[in-house]
A and B are shown apart, each in its own frame.
Chain A
Amino acid sequence: MSTSLGRYNYDVVVIGAGGAGLRAAVEAREAGLSVAIICKSLFGKAHTVMAEGGVSASMGNVNSDDNWMVHFRDTMRGGKFLNHFRMAELHAKEAPDRVWELETWGALFDRTKDGKISQRNFGGHEYPRLAHVGDRTGLELIRTMQQRIVAMQQKDARDHGDAEKFIRVFAELTITEILKDNEKVSGVYGYWRETGEEVLFTAPAVIVATGGIGKTFKITSNSWEGTGDGHALVLKAGGRLKDMEFIQFHPTGMVWPPSVRGLLVTESVRGDGGVLTNSDGVRFMFNYIPDVFKDKYADNEAEADRWYTDQTNNRRPPELLPRDEVARAINSEVKAGRGTEHGGVFLDVSKRLPADVIKKKLPSMWHQFYELAGVDITKEAMEVGPTCHYVMGGVDVDPDTAAAIGVPGLFAAGEVAAGMHGSNRLGGNSLSDLLVFGRRAGIGAAEYVKSSGKNPVSDASVKRAQEKVAKPFTQAGGENPYTLHHELQELTQSLVGIIRTKVELEEALKKIAELRNRIAKVSVAGGREFNPGFHLSFDLDNMLLVAESTALAGLTREESRGGHTRDDFPTMNPVWRQSNLICTFDGTKVVVEKIPLPMMRKDLFELFDIHELEKYMTQEEIAMGGIN
């Protein structure tokens, strides 16, 4: 087999060609390194294209009162103060530059009247802050960076006679393992989907930018790629996952027809005036404003409605509460029997905006409902309900360099990395996260490569990786991977979902252990060429590790916070806020450990009103007032 093994040498391998991976690749190439970009799918199809609402950056184009400090505060509040303060700080400070930079690469954002980049309102953001292109901002982002990479290749063709000399995109290639030699990263191993032929990349630095884990769940807004590959690869390479109990259920996914259940309905619908009502016609969100948000959200319809035209003198409508609050509220309404026919609630923008404005501001939503559900959102309400959307948890990284803790040469950025969003992400903070930390991962990897030099892959590492790839074909009589995937999704949906209990989480862990034995024996029909069953057999192993991490961390954290709700521990506990949960893999099972959350710096601590911090922190922490 090794005779036909494709071998490549690069300074940096980027796994994942979404926003974070492409931004990292651009940066590493600009630092003078050779870069391989590995896509699970075709180039330009990554899940980033699904991002609708926008990219948050406190440019202050619509409201000049906005600045990084306000953005930082909003991000920390949204994450219930479990965020790594340094990541939230870097993100808030650097996001505007990252957005403007896209414009110099050809991006065309929607404009304000005075010709600047327009910014829209979104849940949890105090001011209009999301730069956007209708409701297809993610597509603009990915296309801009895709074209940026083409531009760099064209330049290399002119300067060096070969477009792919320093940066090459490997499309439809699956990575099965991160290789380590001498206790540090030495490369990655994988196979081409088209031929099934195996490939070895030697590289001293690997950037993981593989996105999310949504496909672990049955109802999700994620595409088929969201199988937690990076999370699992890092675990298996000896890295650490942090905050895996925190999963964001986006409040508004489609609920009907069944085939599109989970498909995202952008938050912009609410940002632009859409209201949520139950089957009694009651605008129920007024009943779900938590104490910590009482001074910022309107408690009556009149004030909420006035806010759309006068944001200075009115509080925000409660439809724009952070996503975790809205998702739980919808869940409660449906459970209480006030749901719609198909088990959701109503989201209506048709009575708030004229038809032509809706079509202009929310073109792909109009499309999506009209073509897939036969619903004209300019005339009728949508039916929506929570859908698994985003994982806050992920690779434990150094905030400044995106280096994965514990594995020299490994870096992670984007959804696969943890810390930035704490226990709950604000809408719009994902695209900016990709840009800010994608770039930082590129710089981090470049600096690492320059100081560490090469690290060749040993034959033993290659052999181990080869055996793993061959396995699903060598074992006959095992189960069908599709059936196993279906079972895993049912399990996570019902036992590790939006509302959790000790009993259910324990049951989930037991079932996951059983599934692990069955998945180890999975067998695959057909040959190696573009075989989705073969591919799923690897994805399954990844999803299982993710599900186990989430269930175990969820069982350990005995409180409710952001994307983790325990029915048996229904409130936030300031003592639990002081800890992160770390998951590692011991070769047979996931192990969880509690570590202290880094304390906020004094200058950042002082950006908050003490009375607000009292809602989240213990008396001792308040008295200490942050650290120097």
Chain B
Amino acid sequence: MGRKLNLRIFRGNAADGGLADVSVEAMEGEVILDVIHRVQAEQMNDLAVRWNCKAGKCGSCSMEINGKPRLACMTRVASFEDGETITITPLRAFPVIKDLVTDVSFNYKKAMEVRAYEHPVDLKPGDARMQQIDVERSQEFRKCIECFLCQDTCHVIRDHEENKKSFAGPRFFIRLAELDMHPLDTLRNRKQSAQAEHGLGMCNITKCCTEVCPEHIRITDNAIIPMKERVVDVKYDPLRWLGSVIRKRDGIL
């Protein structure tokens, strides 16, 4: 049931590299990561590729397949035409370390810049009571597997290194939204900080991030747009501004 597959795989590092042509056998039901592993075992023993679970749950095997940010473990070989040459390259928004592996430390730095969850000081462990409907909004964002495909595809930083300093990216907008909508988080002004410190305003809602999300998180509709709208409301409506000052929690307006 096997079929021959023609791949063009990036080999090299940040300083030097290019696409290498390779032909490999693919079996029924296989995904791109399977054929990369076959190339690695049989033809290129030192081909660098990140992967862990091979089940779409850990977000390690992010790469670009025919120019699209994808998880290699969730991209089926059957979705390509017979005879089609498949080009496999590392994530473009991050510096290449070697072959298909990139330096994604940008994302961990940004994670460090988002102020952590703050639990109400007087709420003892086990005493929290929340309704399912109230936790679900944040739960959607907590599905994130940190594959960073949304970061890779986002055109604010994809080809604009200079924006990285002031822009946290979609992954961290959903983190901010998650905390903003968390029924218990006591730290206020999450969305204002998204705007002022994390570059929310630079996003112009092209929804590319939502399209590539393997967890189908509605990044733009459910996190970015609601935060943008409410930032504007709070900024320009004196009554709402006052309300947000008086209320203990301003997350759910």
A contact set with B: CB distance below 8 Å: 41-45, 47, 49-50, 59, 96-97, 100-101, 103-106, 108-111, 114-116, 118, 133-134, 136, 139-140, 143, 147-148, 150-151, 153-154, 163, 171, 194, 223-225, 256-260, 263-264, 364, 367-368, 371-373, 480-483, 486, 524-527, 529-534
Contact = CB atoms under 8 A, between A and B. Distances in A.
Given A105-B117, A364-B57, A532-B46, 9 more contacts: A50-B53, A118-B132, A139-B145, A225-B52, A258-B28, A260-B55, A372-B56, A531-B46, A532-B47
Interface of B: 13, 27-31, 34, 40-42, 45-60, 74, 76, 97-99, 101, 103-104, 108, 111-112, 115-117, 119, 123, 125-126, 128-132, 135, 138-139, 142-146, 179, 182, 184-185
A378 B49 CA distance: 34
A257 B46 contact: no
13 contacts: A41-B58, A45-B52, A45-B60, A49-B57, A103-B128, A105-B119, A108-B139, A111-B131, A163-B112, A372-B74, A481-B45, A527-B46, A534-B46
B45 A106 contact: no
Contact of A263 (B27, B55, B58, B119): B55
A482 B135 contact: no
A480 B42 CA distance: 9
Contacts of A108: 130, 135, 138-139, 142, 182
Contact of B117 (A59, A100, A106, A111): A106
Nearest to B123: A104
A224 B54 CA distance: 9
B112 A224 contact: no
A532 B40 contact: yes
B53 A223 contact: yes
A502 to B, nearest CB: 34
Given A108-B138, A154-B112, A100 B59 contact: no
Nearest to B117: A106
A615 B3 CA distance: 55
A257 B125 contact: no
B57 to A, nearest CB: 5
Contact of B50 (A41, A43, A525): A41
Contacts of A134: 139
A529 B98 CA distance: 8
Contacts of B117: 105-106, 147, 151
A283 to B, nearest CB: 28
Contact of B46 (A43, A96, A259, A525): A525
A104 B119 contact: yes
B198 to A, nearest CB: 15
A192 to B, nearest CB: 11
Contacts of B49: 532
Contacts of B30: 257-259
B125 A526 contact: no
B35 to A, nearest CB: 9
Contacts of A534: 46
B174 to A, nearest CB: 12
Contacts of A367: 56
A171 B50 CA distance: 13
B74 A371 contact: yes
A143 B54 CA distance: 19
